[in-house]
Copies of this chain bind each other. A is one copy, B any other.
Amino acid sequence: MDNQLLSFTEENYLKIIYLLTERHNGNEVSTNQLAEHTQTKAASVSDMLRKLAEKNYINYRKYQGVTLTEAGEQIALGVIRKHRLWEVFLVEKLGFGWDEIHDIAEQLEHIDSKELTKRLDDFLENPKFDPHGDPIPDAKGKMPSVSYQKLSEIALNQSVVMMGVSVHSPAFLQHLDKQQINLGCGLKVLEISDFDKSYSILLDGKTTIFVSNEVAKNLLVSIDE
């Protein structure tokens, strides 16, 4: 529409490189990691990396992994912005659950129209976070910095607010739904079991629930002031 510089596939590679780099605190992403996340083989990834490097979207030294160039990062942030805006649309306007939206957003994130993105953003009242608590990059391609902590790193009896999840699988999200753990909930760790490191948590100052260590590691929270 506006100017389809990149293919669907190239956009996906750049987006995944961005997200993996972020997850590794800025360290290079390896060929095998990309193969896993693109559902392809390492050989295919090597080919694509050569192409993206040629177009100056990535910094690539053979065998050494990749990072995004400024140009590549802007593309990636544009795709992530659309992905997260569409997720807000699907939940807020169409009533989908947060466990049902990712695969649809994977398609919608490639719709190419600056004007559409702008109007969608306004229609949604310029949300700053998606339904999983992930920040939405602004129209200028700037990702808001957020600093959440894992619930598993929070001191006992410290009141915190549930802000996000570090795993987006439907199974995990449905598990949280069942326990009524939602974004914005108040949480306080009362006790960690010596036996299996599972957590007793006071939810919204009212009910006590029990979650596994695995769950506690994937809940992102911020200190409640």
Binding site for B on A (CB under 8 A): 1, 90, 93-96, 100, 103-104, 107-108, 111-113, 115-116, 119-120, 123
> Can you list 21 A-B pairs with a CB-CB distance of less than 8 A?
A1-B103, A1-B104, A1-B107, A90-B116, A93-B123, A94-B116, A94-B119, A94-B120, A94-B123, A95-B119, A96-B115, A96-B119, A100-B115, A103-B113, A104-B111, A104-B113, A104-B116, A107-B111, A107-B112, A107-B113, A108-B111
Closest Cβ neighbor of A103 among chain B residues: B1
Closest Cβ neighbor of A112 among chain B residues: B107
**Residues of B with C-beta under 8 A to A90:** 116
Shortest Cβ distance from residue A16 to the other chain B in the assembled complex, whole angstroms: 19
Shortest Cβ distance from residue A189 to the other chain B in the assembled complex, whole angstroms: 37
**Residues of B with C-beta under 8 A to A116:** 90, 94, 104
**Residues of B with C-beta under 8 A to A120:** 94
CA distance A116 to B96 in the complex (A): 9
CA distance A94 to B89 in the complex (A): 12
**Residues of B with C-beta under 8 A to A123:** 93-94
**Residues of B with C-beta under 8 A to A104:** 1, 111, 113, 116
Shortest Cβ distance from residue A185 to the other chain B in the assembled complex, whole angstroms: 26
**Residues of B with C-beta under 8 A to A111:** 104, 107-108
Closest Cβ neighbor of A90 among chain B residues: B116
